[in-house]
Amino acid sequence: MKKIDELKVAALAGGVGGAKLIVGLRNVLPEGQLTAIVNTGDDFEHFGLRICPDLDTVCYSLAGVADALHGWGVKDETWHVLDQLRQLEAPSWFALGDRDLALHLERTRLLAEGNRLTLVTKAICRKLEVSTAVLPMCDQVAPTLIRLKDGRVLGFQEYFVGERFEPLIDEIILPEASNLSMTTEVAEALRNADLIVICPSNPWVSIAPILNVPGVREQVSSKIIIAVSPIINGAALKGPAAKMFAELGIEASASNVLAHYGELVDGFVYDNQEDENLTITSSKGIILFKTNTIMKETHEKNNLAVDVLCLGLKLFNENN
């Protein structure tokens, strides 16, 4: 029988929703027990700089410097560069804060020296005094593309930020998996994990890209997996998750998040505010757990992390 502080956890995450639970897990687990595996499908190049929005949100959140108001970028940010870009009538649709820009400059420099994104992220985490292992889902560039109903195909940030996720989506296009490979670091984290947590991140554009990396789905399938719903009473707390469900012809609901993960999950955590109790459509004996999943304050992040870990521990001990 393991105890809760002996669990090794790998958490799959996107940006805002993912980062909140990652912080909770970091707060309640002993050091060294948590690895965050983060979506890089949103990454893009802007002014020649490599920008990794989800990795940055997770790293800034763990470093305690995230801008909680926006959900992205650094708190107490200044915007001199952006102001000047506007004056120059240069592209300013993607808001780059001055401090944030420094990170993109340094990451781009380290990548240009030939370093892998995994090691660059490790170096940046060290400088930000983040001790949690934060891994990009892979080292290759792996852009998620959005095909719109009007026929255009946009990079994720062009759709999400540039067009404020207003156009209707026809299809989400993930990169050809055969062009991607799992890093040794991700493979090791998954192999060593007792528990996989799928954070309350967007299932389509944050979690699916991670599971698309060859080997990841297979490796996590052999573990106990707990997923937390990002959809509460048919709505997303932030971002396009619910809108994406609707446009892909699926009603946005916690039960459809569960149906989407299907056979993968062993335990599913959803919100107290759901009007109805979920029913299980999968053949597997999934354990459902209803609790507060809205994480504004630190104690809410920590409490949800404890709920997720207790459920995971129970399932782990039953199966080992």
Residues that bind ligand GDP (CB under 6 A): 13-18, 20, 54, 57, 200-202, 206, 228-230, 236-239, 241, 293-295
What separation in angstroms does the CA of 5 have from each of 118, 230, 302? 26, 26, 14
List the beta bridge partners of residue 37.
Answer: 12, 135
Q: Which of residues 22-51 bind Ca ion (CB under 5 A)?
A: 42
- Do the Cβ atoms of 64 and 298 come closer than 8 Å? no
DSSP 30: P
- Do the Cβ atoms of 100 and 122 come closer than 8 Å? no
- Least separation in angstroms between CB 246 and ligand GDP: 13
- Least separation in angstroms between CB 167 and ligand GDP: 17
Choose from Ca ion, ligand GDP, none: what does 293 bind? Cβ within 5-8 Å by kind: ligand GDP
Residue 202 in tokens: 């967007």
| Residue 313 CB coordination number (10 Å) | 21
Q: Which of residues 49-68 bind Ca ion (CB under 5 A)?
A: 54
Q: Which is nearer to ligand GDP, 17 or 73 (CB)?
A: 17
- Least separation in angstroms between CB 320 and Ca ion: 33
- Do the Cβ atoms of 253 and 234 come closer than 8 Å? yes
- Do the Cβ atoms of 267 and 315 come closer than 8 Å? yes
Q: Which of these ranges, 8-16, 113-121, 142-150, 280-288, lies near Ca ion under the rule CB under 5 A?
A: 8-16
What is the C-alpha to C-alpha distance for residues 252 and 235, in angstroms, rounded to an integer?
7
Residue 149 in tokens: 């109903």
What is the C-alpha to C-alpha distance for residues 158 and 275, in angstroms, rounded to an integer?
35
Q: Which is nearer to ligand GDP, 90 or 168 (CB)?
A: 168
The enclosing H or E element of 186 equals helix 184-192
- Least separation in angstroms between CB 42 and Ca ion: 4
- Least separation in angstroms between CB 262 and ligand GDP: 18
Choose from ligand GDP, Ca ion, none: what does 236 bind? Cβ within 5-8 Å by kind: ligand GDP
- Least separation in angstroms between CB 317 and ligand GDP: 26
Q: Which is nearer to Ca ion, 17 or 312 (CB)?
A: 17
Q: By beta-carbon distance, which residue lies closest to Ca ion? A: 15
Choose from Ca ion, ligand GDP, none: what does 284 bind? Cβ within 5-8 Å by kind: none
What is the C-alpha to C-alpha distance for residues 132 and 121, in angstroms, rounded to an integer?
11
What is the C-alpha to C-alpha distance for residues 163 and 246, in angstroms, rounded to an integer?
18
- Least separation in angstroms between CB 300 and ligand GDP: 7
Instruction: For 196, list phi and psi in degrees, rounded to 5.
Output: -105, 130
Residue 245: strand, helix, or coil: helix
Q: Which is nearer to Ca ion, 56 or 274 (CB)?
A: 56
Find tokens 């892909």 and name the residue.
248
Q: Which is nearer to ligand GDP, 237 or 278 (CB)?
A: 237
Among 12, 14, 20, 316, binds Ca ion (CB under 5 A): 14
Q: Which is nearer to Ca ion, 4 or 161 (CB)?
A: 161
Q: Which is nearer to Ca ion, 204 or 316 (CB)?
A: 204
Contacts with Ca ion, residue ranges (CB under 5 A): 14-15, 42, 54
